[in-house]
């Protein structure tokens, strides 16, 4: 039996509702959380990731989002707090706060912008997780961080027993397969929604995705069908999912998902500047996407 098996499943990368001035819209955020729990039926939420526009926020705003998410979700689902930052002291403080709130695990993106050595990256992860009694999931997203790690380097990080897995947001299925074979007792979550089926075939333990905020039901179907070996059925749903994702990406990822939530009665608010919110043209396209795939 895999250790930490309680953390398997489908997690929405939580969107955050902001007002016109970039402040957290608590009412809207609570509505997004409820929508994920009640309508999308997710197993958990990944709070404070890229989808939450996290890297544009102050430490206090990040704490506010962690607090609201825990208060709204209570213990009904699993909660992972993404605390990663290029300021490791902020990460430690956030890790401690999320742990005090009762988050089931923390996660941290690989430190970015500067070309950190692997030894510096290893020190960063150990510094964060050794500051709390909790579990840590590495957030690997090389396309945005420029940080690529090998199977052996993941293994070095996994030597710390409190580092239990990785959110694998990459299209490198060779590396994914090698990781799965080398570390069968560690959790691997797929991070690219459009590639969930091939990742599932490689033996992932779940997935964390931004489009799950509106497409969580299909995400679960793909995952569970793949686990049951029903690949042809899963592929049909992945086709529809990828048609939806293609349309969303062409219209602007986060603004469009927020508009799709609004069409379901959820106060998803504005994007955090400098990210632009949807204009009238994008709103019209979002309505077409909703009618075609979610209505």
Which residues are part of a known binding site for aceneuramate? 50-51, 169, 191, 193-194, 210
CA distance 230 to 223: 10
Number of Cβ within 10 Å of residue 128's Cβ equals: 26
DSSP conformation letters of 122-147: HHHHHHHHTTSSS-EEEEE-HHHH--
Report residue 96 CA to chain centroid gap: 20
From the annotation, which residues make up the binding site?
Answer: 50-51, 169, 191, 193-194, 208, 210
Annotated binding site for pyruvate: 51, 208
The radius of gyration computed from the CA coordinates of the chain, to the nearest angstrom, equals: 18
Of 97, 124, 125, 139, the catalytic one is 139
Is residue 190 classed exposed, middle or buried when 0-12, 13-18 and 19+ CB atoms within 10 A define those classes? buried
DSSP string, 70-91: HHHHTTSSEEEEE---S-HHHH
Q: Which of 8, 78, 122, 167 is catalytic?
A: 167
Is 78 a known active-site residue?
no
**167 catalytic, yes or no?**
yes
Provide the annotated active-site residues: 139, 167
């Amino acid at each position: 039996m895999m250790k930490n098996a309680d953390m398997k499943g489908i997690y929405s990368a939580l969107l955050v509702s902001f007002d016109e001035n970039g402040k957290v819209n608590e009412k809207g955020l609570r509505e997004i959380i409820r929508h994920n729990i009640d309508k999308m039926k997710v197993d958990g939420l990944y709070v404070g990731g890229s989808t939450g526009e996290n890297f544009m926020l102050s430490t206090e705003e990040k704490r506010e989002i962690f607090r609201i998410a825990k208060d709204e979700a209570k213990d009904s689902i699993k909660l992972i707090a993404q605390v990663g930052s290029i300021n490791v002291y902020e990460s430690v403080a956030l890790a401690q706060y999320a742990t005090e709130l009762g988050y089931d695990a923390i996660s941290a993106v690989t430190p970015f912008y500067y070309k950190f050595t692997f030894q510096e990256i290893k020190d960063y992860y150990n510094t964060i997780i050794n500051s709390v009694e909790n579990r840590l999931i590495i957030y690997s997203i090389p396309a945005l961080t420029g940080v690529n790690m090998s199977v052996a380097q993941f293994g070095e990080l996994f030597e710390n027993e409190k580092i239990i897995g990785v959110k694998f947001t990459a299209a490198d299925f060779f590396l994914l397969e090698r990781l799965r074979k080398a570390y069968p007792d560690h959790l691997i979550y797929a991070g690219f929604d459009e590639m969930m089926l091939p990742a599932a075939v490689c033996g992932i333990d779940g997935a964390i995705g931004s489009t799950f905020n509106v497409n969580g039901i299909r995400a679960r179907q793909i995952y569970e069908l793949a686990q049951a070996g029903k690949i042809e059925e899963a592929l049909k749903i992945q086709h529809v999912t990828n048609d939806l994702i293609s349309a969303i990406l062409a219209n602007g990822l986060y603004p469009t998902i927020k508009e799709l939530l609004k069409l379901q009665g959820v106060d998803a608010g504005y994007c955090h500047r400098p990210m632009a919110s949807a204009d009238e043209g994008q709103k019209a396209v979002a309505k077409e996407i909703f009618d075609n795939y979610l209505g």
